[in-house]
Structures are given as structure tokens and as C-alpha cells.
């Protein structure tokens, strides 16, 4: 397994090319944040690496974050995205998920031993997107919900009004850096403010030619100081 220690307790695991899962290690409990495409046997890796029990959490329900769920007995995910876990299992196996799914709700706190991980709503990219605030590390694990290029692509995404509330709350949280699922290194929190300001000047005219996500999706770009916020958004979410 190719991995990088972001801090001694936070390891970014490259499960597939530019597709990262994160392992958070406390003194008495660990968390695996996302299970990637399912190409690597993360369970075997955890069982070789850890000397504590662990929990498996999903940041949201997209395929490239839940693909390895089937290797585990229990996975925590936000209920709003459970239908994606079910449909992925149906497509890949013809059956409902073979593992148990537990609620992952904003406000839950996992005491890992010397490290507390608080679940935060990051509704926007998907309705059930959540983040994990690692309180003593000052790091937010953000899945895809705060990517500099933010995808809001259809019915699975929340309306813009919800995204705005999410970003306003996240802006006030006590962290400095965030770790996203498709970026190898820590990102600056400034992107949250940039996205929030971007929503006040979002360009929503129909694209002159269809982009990679089809004719309903607008692409809007906003720059402030050194930060570039790009939002691809389904016009139905406006």
C-alpha cells in the first residue's frame, strides 16, 4: 500500500491513482475514512498495520469512496446517501449490501484515545456528505465536499442554499487545514471562504457548448487572492 503520513496519526492511503482513503490512528481506536474503488484489500492492510480495533466510515456515497465496503462487516455512512451504497451493491453483485450500514450523523464524536473525531455535515456535493474534524490535529477530512473544483452534479447533490449553509458553518469551525480524497497533501482552509464568496457571484448561464458533465451543468470560476474556486453545478440545484 502506497501511503503518506500527513501527521504521525493521519495517513493518506493511495487506494487507486489519485483516490485516497485516510487512516486515523488513536491510542485505542482507529478510523478508516472511505474504502476507495475496492481495488486494494484495505482490510488486510489494516489488520497487518494496526494494533487497535478500527471503524470504517464513508465520507459520502460515490462509488470511488465505497468500493471496498464489501470487505468489512460494518460501515458507517450518512443515511441520506444509503441509497447509493445499495445501488452500488446491486450493480456490482446483484444483491443488497453484504455488510451492515450504521448511521453516521453530524454531532457524533469518536474518542480514539488521545484524539477526538467529530462528524460534521458537509451537505452539498451529495446530500449525505459528511466531514470528520480531527480536533487535536486541527485537520478536517472533507471527502469531495470542499474540493477546489466542486462538483454539484444532479439529484444526489443538495440545493445551493444548503451548500451555502454548510460552507458558512464550516468556515467557523476550529481547523486550519483540510484533507480531500483526491489530493495528496493538506489543503488550506481558505478554499471554504472562496467557495462561499463564489456562491454570491455564481455564473449560471447555460454553457455555450456542453462540457464534460453535459448541457445542464454550468461551470463557474471565482478567484480571490491566491485561491481559485471552480464550481460545476446542475442548473436544477439553483
**Span near Zn ion by CB under 5 A; candidates 45-53, 91-99, 144-152, 205-213:** 144-152
Q: Which of 15, 137, 144, 156 binds Zn ion (CB under 5 A)?
A: 144
Binders in 61-90 for Zn ion, by CB under 5 A: 62
Integer angstrom CA distances of residue 34 from 112, 199, 209: 17, 28, 35
Q: Which residue has the cell 447533490?
A: 157
Site for Zn ion in 4-63 (CB under 5 A): 62
Whole-number minimum distance, CB 60 to Zn ion, in Å?
A: 6
CB-based burial, 96-127: b 16+ in 10 Å, e otherwise: ebebebeebeeeeebebeebebbbbbbbbbbb
Question: Whose Cβ is closer to Zn ion: residue 137's or residue 234's?
Answer: 234
Contact window for Zn ion (CB under 5 A) among 21-29, 90-98, 136-144, 158-166: 136-144
Q: Which of 179, 173, 147 is nearest to 12 (CA)?
A: 179
The nearer residue to Zn ion, 19 or 135, going by C-beta atoms, is 19
Q: What are phi and psi of 67, to 5 degrees?
A: -60, -25
Estimate to the nearest angstrom the gap between the alpha carbon of 189 and the chain centroid.
15
The least CB distance from residue 147 to Zn ion, in Å, is 8
Q: Write out the residues near Zn ion by the rule CB under 5 A.
A: 62, 144
Amino acid at each position: 500500500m502506497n501511503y503518506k503520513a500527513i501527521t504521525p496519526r493521519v495517513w493518506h492511503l493511495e487506494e487507486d491513482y489519485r483516490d485516497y482513503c485516510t487512516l486515523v490512528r488513536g491510542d485505542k481506536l482507529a478510523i478508516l475514512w472511505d474504502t476507495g474503488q475496492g481495488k486494494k484489500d484495505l482490510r488486510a492492510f489494516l489488520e497487518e498495520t494496526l494494533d487497535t480495533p478500527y471503524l470504517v466510515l464513508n465520507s459520502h456515497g460515490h462509488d470511488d469512496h465505497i468500493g471496498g465496503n464489501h470487505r468489512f462487516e460494518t460501515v458507517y455512512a450518512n443515511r441520506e446517501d444509503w441509497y447509493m451504497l445499495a445501488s452500488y451493491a446491486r450493480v456490482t453483485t446483484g444483491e443488497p449490501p453484504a455488510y451492515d450500514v450504521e448511521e453516521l450523523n453530524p454531532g457524533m464524536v469518536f474518542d480514539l484515545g488521545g484524539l477526538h473525531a467529530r462528524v460534521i455535515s458537509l451537505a452539498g456535493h451529495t446530500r449525505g456528505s459528511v466531514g470528520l474534524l480531527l480536533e487535536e490535529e486541527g485537520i478536517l477530512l472533507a471527502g469531495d465536499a470542499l474540493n477546489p473544483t466542486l462538483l454539484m452534479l444532479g439529484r444526489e447533490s443538495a440545493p445551493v442554499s444548503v451548500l451555502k449553509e454548510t460552507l458558512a458553518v464550516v468556515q467557523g469551525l476550529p481547523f486550519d487545514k483540510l484533507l480531500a480524497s483526491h489530493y495528496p497533501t493538506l489543503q488550506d482552509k481558505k478554499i471554504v471562504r472562496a467557495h462561499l464568496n463564489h456562491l454570491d457571484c455564481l455564473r449560471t448561464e447555460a454553457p455555450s457548448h456542453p462540457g464534460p458533465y453535459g448541457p445542464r451543468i454550468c461551470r463557474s470560476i471565482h478567484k480571490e487572492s491566491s485561491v481559485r474556486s471552480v464550481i460545476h453545478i446542475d442548473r436544477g440545484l439553483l
